[in-house]
Amino acid sequence: MPRRSMRLDLRGFQRRRSAGAFLVAAVILAAALSVYMFHREAGIGTYYLEVNEYEIPNEAVFDRIISTSDKPVAVMFESPTCPVCKKMKPYWSVLERKSDVLPVAFYHIMAGTATIKVFQRYGVEETPTFIVFVDGKPVLRHVGGFQAGPGEDLTEVMLSWAKGALALAEASAPRSPREFAERGLRVYQVECARCHGVIGGLSLEELRDWLDNAAKTAVAGEADVAVRVLNGRLREAIREGKLLSEVYGGWDQLVDAVRSMRKYVPDLVSDEVEYTAYLLDYISAVLQGREPPVYPWMNLNITPSLVEGEEAAGNATRLEAVAAAGEAGAAATVLVGAASALVAGVVSVFSPCVLPLLVTQVSVVVRSGRRLGVGSCLGCGLAAAAGVVAIGGLFLVAAQLAAGLQQVLLPVVAAAIVAAGLASLLGVPVELEGLISARRGGLMGFCALYGVLAVQCNLPIVLGVLLLIAGLGMSVGGLAALAALAVGSGVPLAAVMLAASRGGAGLAERILARNELLNRVAGAVLAAAGVYLLLYSFQLV
State pLDDT tens for residues 205-244: 889 888 888 656 554 444 567 778 888 889 999 999 999 9
Residue 45: per-residue pLDDT? 47
Which has more confidence, 425 or 44? 425
Confidence of residue 455 (pLDDT cuts 50, 70, 90): low
Which residues are CB-neighbours of 310 under 8 A, at least 6 positions away?
A: 167
Neighbours of 24 (CB within 10 A): 10
- The span from the CA of 469 to the CA of 474, in Å, is 8
Q: Which residue has the higher pLDDT, 175 or 104?
A: 104
| pLDDT, tens only, 339-376 | 666 766 676 666 656 666 676 667 666 666 666 777 77
508 contact partners, CB below 8 Å, separation of at least 6: 366, 367, 368, 369, 518
Calculate what percentage of the chain has a pLDDT beyond 90: 10
Q: Bridge-partner residues for 138, per DSSP?
A: 133
Task: Say whether pLDDT at 518 is over 90.
Answer: no
Of residues 173 and 275, more confidence is placed in 275
Q: Per-residue pLDDT for 97 more than 50? A: yes
Whether pLDDT at 285 is above 90: yes
For residue 60, pLDDT over 70 is answered with: yes
The rounded distance, in Å, linking the Cα atoms of 34 and 371 is 39
3-state SS assignment for residue 76: strand
- Say whether pLDDT at 50 is over 60: no
CA distances (Å), origin 490, targets 370, 390, 404: 21, 13, 25
Residue 350, pLDDT score: 64
For the cut 60, the answer to whether the pLDDT of residue 534 exceeds it is yes
The pLDDT confidence band at residue 437, using thresholds 50, 70 and 90, is: very low
Specify the pLDDT at position 412.
Answer: 64
Q: What is the mean pLDDT of residues 444-458?
A: 70
Measure the CA–CA gap between 280 and 284, rounded to whole angstroms: 6
Residue extents of the structural domains in the chain: 54-171+312-319, 177-302, 332-537
Non-local (6+) Cβ contacts of 448 within 8 A are 383, 384, 386, 387
Alpha carbons within 13 A on the beta-carbon side of 85: 23
Q: Determine the pLDDT at residue 508.
A: 44
Mean pLDDT of the 137-156 span = 85
| Distances in whole angstroms, Cα of residue 410 to Cα of each of 235, 359, 407, 418, 462 | 61, 15, 6, 12, 19
pLDDT at 496 over 60: yes
**Do 293 and 177 meet the contact criterion of CB atoms below 8 Å apart?**
yes
Cα gap 478→505, rounded to integer Å: 40
Instruction: Give just the sign of the alpha carbon dihedral 284, 286, 287, 289.
Output: positive
Mean pLDDT of the chain: 70
Q: 3-state DSSP call for residue 134?
A: strand
DSSP at 127: S
Question: What's the rounded Cα separation, in Å, for the pair 178 and 286?
Answer: 11
SS3 call for 427: coil
Q: Mean pLDDT over residues 411-421, rounded?
A: 64
* Whole-number pLDDT of residue 385: 80
Cα(437)–Cα(5) distance, integer angstroms: 10
Pairing of strands 129-134, 105-110: unpaired
The CA distance from 62 to 100, in Å, is 18
56: three-class secondary structure by DSSP:
strand
The DSSP code sequence of 140-207 is: EEEES-----TT--HHHHHHHHHHHSSPPPGGGS--SHHHHHHHHHHHHHHHTHHHH-----SSHHHH
pLDDT score at 497: 76
Indicate the pairing of strand 129-134 with strand 137-143: antiparallel
> Taking 90 as the threshold, does the pLDDT of residue 283 lie above it?
yes
The most confident of the ranges 88-102, 155-169, 303-317 is: 88-102
Helices (H) and strands (E) in the chain, counts: 23, 5
User: For the domain bounded by 54-171+312-319, which CATH number is listed?
Assistant: 3.40.30.10
Closest of 313, 474, 467 to residue 399, by C-alpha? 467
DSSP 126: S
- 25-37: per-residue pLDDT in tens? 666 676 666 656 6
How much is the pLDDT for 71? Answer: 86
Q: Checking DSSP bridges between strand 73-78 and strand 105-110, what pairing results, if any?
A: parallel
Is pLDDT of 299 > 80?
A: no
Q: Is the pTM of this model over 0.85?
A: no
Evaluate if residue 52 carries a pLDDT over 80: no
- Among 57-71, 437-451, 467-481, whose mean pLDDT is lowest? 467-481
- pLDDT at residue 477, as a whole number: 57
pLDDT at 172: 54
The predicted structure's pLDDT at residue 307: 32
pLDDT (0 to 100) of residue 92:
93
